[in-house]
Amino acid sequence: MKQAELKKLLKAGEWNDIEFKEARTNVPKSAFETVSAFANTHGGRLVFGVAQRGEAYEVTGVEQSDKVQNDFLSVLHADAKINHDVQVTEQRLDIGGKMVLVFHIAENQRTRKPVYLDGDIRRTFLRKGCGDYKAQMQDIERMLRDATADRWDSQPFERVPLKDAFHSGSLKWYRDRFHQANTGFNPKQSDMDFLYYWGFLLKDGRRFLPTRAAVMFFGSSLAVHQLIPRPTLDVQFLGYSTGEPLPETRWIDRIICEDNIIQAWEQLVTKYRFFMPKPFRDIDPVTFGRRDDPPGFRVFREAAVNLLIHQDYGDHSRKAVIKFFRDGIQLWNPGDVFGDDSRLWEPGEKEARNPSIAMAMRRIAMCEQAGTGLRMMREVWRKLGHPSPTYKNDRAGKAFEFFIPELDKEVDMASDLVKAMFGGATQDKAQVEAQEAQVEAQVELPKWQISVLSICSPGDKTGKELLAVAGYRNRTGNFKKGLQRLVDEHFVELTIPDKPNSRLQKYRLTDKGRQVLTMIRRDEGDVA
């Protein structure tokens, strides 16, 4: 870290990867909680010699910096303090004659988590936002589950007799696809021999036991419900965009998939075809063959299959959710990504949470080759003229979110939205077209953006004034994105457009913004 970078961080304040401690003469006890939190999440930098004054941070310096540094590192490496070694890189900075100590705490590997203090696993900490929080037992259990060498899906399942363990239709569906994708294997092989050969059955003495992967992939309803007491997948079709306030009607349609992965996949694709029929002109309705997949569906298919592959099925308190918003598709999974998530876009095979389920998918060509899926989705989606998909790997929450921005240009959910909002099933074509035009004409802005427009009328306003009315303490990503939207759509304009970062910069309402604000107030009944 250089002085300029430290000054920039001081101005931005603490967040999930930076923590300041005054530590003028000794090491604060809370510093070790921060070490645990950083090591259990994404890593970060712990800085000694900085004090908080109100909402600002200033360099106060560390007296006897050699002693404080040695005390910190010696306690950190003592056997009794933390249960796992943590990689620490130390650095000293002289800021105007005041000594600052910077410690970079690396994230621990999943097999060396949780990192806890004083031999007490209950003293496990997680980094959330700008603070260190004591982990709940369910958080600790998720880390312990991921730390095991034997993966969850490879374990045997004994709760249901073998004769009742499988759904015959799902197994036939899988075997049909398998033999289409893999010529040379005997299609007349018995189901038992097929399952044993490909590792779906384990031999225990004279009996055979299905693996959890086998149950999740083509298990009977009885077996699946005995294995996971919650849905496999929750799919919601929503009539609003991300970032908008929740309407009274939260979703247009919804399916809760409580059976095996194959049945969940069939339900998902059937519903996708109903809402988005145009992309499926060339799709084989039986095999859902990949070669003729239109590009938009190829991206969605890869994202949905990844969700099923990498889900933490051992987490019984949460379920995977796919939400179709008006401005994109959000796929949320219980379970974060293994390994360094900053390298997800790079080539190379990645470690899977459920390797047996992943291999079962790849054998029937339902997903890309290992290590290529994310890059394919980004490249294909860009070529279609859309922004790149984004992801959020939440180490603290042990969750992964993938967002595909903007639905395929061929997709049109307007009719379904109108039906949901106006009951259009009994209306004639002219009424539906008029109501569709009404929906298109509506300006939909979050409440805080409407407040920003209101405060800008009359008079020019500073960024701080906009922050205050929007309810944000600092310029978060959501605030910056939302404010930029108002500028891009010419609802507000910069008073110094040539110098957008000027400290004298202010914002004013445009004529277009004034018209929009008037319309919003009229709709709300504030204007006659």
227, 249, 268 — which closes off a domain? 227
Q: Which of 109, 142, 175 is the last residue of a domain?
A: 142
Give the pLDDT confidence score for residue 372 in this predicted structure.
64
Count of the separate structural domains present in the chain: 4
Spatial separation of the C-alpha atoms in residues 44 and 16, rounded to whole Å: 7
> The CATH number of the domain where 464 resides is what?
1.10.10.10
Do 74 and 171 belong together in one domain? no
What's the CATH code of the domain at 100?
3.30.950.30
pLDDT at 407: 59
239 in the same domain as 223: no
**What pLDDT is stored for residue 124 in this prediction?**
97
Question: In angstroms, rounded to a whole number, what is the distance separating the alpha carbons of residues 457 and 526?
Answer: 15
Same domain, 516 and 458: yes
Is 309 a domain residue?
yes
H helices of 311-411, in order, are 355-363, 373-383
The answer to whether the beta carbons of residues 403 and 330 sit under 8 Å apart is: yes
- For the chain, give me the number of helices (H) and strands (E)? 18, 19
Report the run of H or E that residue 311 belongs to, with start and end.
none
Separation of alpha carbons 119 and 35, rounded Å: 15
295's tokens:
């590009």
- Consecutive sets of 10 residues in the chain, 528 residues long: mean pLDDT of each? 85 88 94 97 95 91 94 88 94 94 95 96 94 95 93 95 95 94 90 96 94 96 96 92 80 91 92 64 45 69 92 95 92 90 74 92 80 79 88 93 72 42 42 43 67 80 85 76 83 84 86 76 50
Instruction: Please state the φ and ψ torsions of residue 72, each to the nearest 5 degrees.
Output: -65, -50
Positive or negative: CA dihedral 308, 309, 310, 312: positive
> Is residue 169 domain-shared with residue 243, that is, in the same domain?
no
- Note whether residue 436 is domain-resident: no
Same domain for 174 and 121: no
Q: Are residues 273 and 323 in the same domain?
A: yes
> Which DSSP letter does residue 393 get?
E
Residues 92 and 166 in one domain: no
Q: Are residues 397 and 258 in the same domain?
A: yes
Residue 92 CA to residue 221 CA, distance in Å, equals 60
**Any idea what DSSP says for residue 53?**
E
* Residue-number span of the structural domain to which 195 is assigned: 152-227
196 and 285 housed in the same domain: no
CATH at residue 262: 3.30.565.60
Structure tokens at 462: 């500073």
Angle, helices 447-455 vs 477-488, to 10°: value is 60
Residue 420 has a pLDDT of: 40
In a domain, 88, yes or no: yes
Domain contains 210: yes
In this structure, what token pair is assigned to residue 483? 């404010």
pLDDT tens sequence across 117-138: 999 999 999 999 889 999 999 9
Does residue 412 form part of some domain?
A: no
Whether residues 255 and 384 share a domain: the answer is yes
Number of CB atoms found within 10 A of residue 181's CB = 16
Residue 11 domain flag? yes
What is the number of alpha carbons within 13 Å of residue 14 lying toward its C-beta? 22
Rounded CA separation 32/481 (Å):
35
Choose one of 142, 160, 191: the last residue of a domain: 142
- Same domain as 189, residue 128: no
Residue 437 located in a structural domain: no
Identify whether residues 7 and 123 lie together within a single domain. Answer: yes
CA distance 146 to 40: 12
Q: What is the 3-state secondary structure (H, E, C) of 203-258?
A: EECCEEEEEHHHHHHHECHHHHHHHCCCCCEEEEECCCCCCCCCCCCCCCEEEEEC
The answer as to whether 442 is a domain residue is no
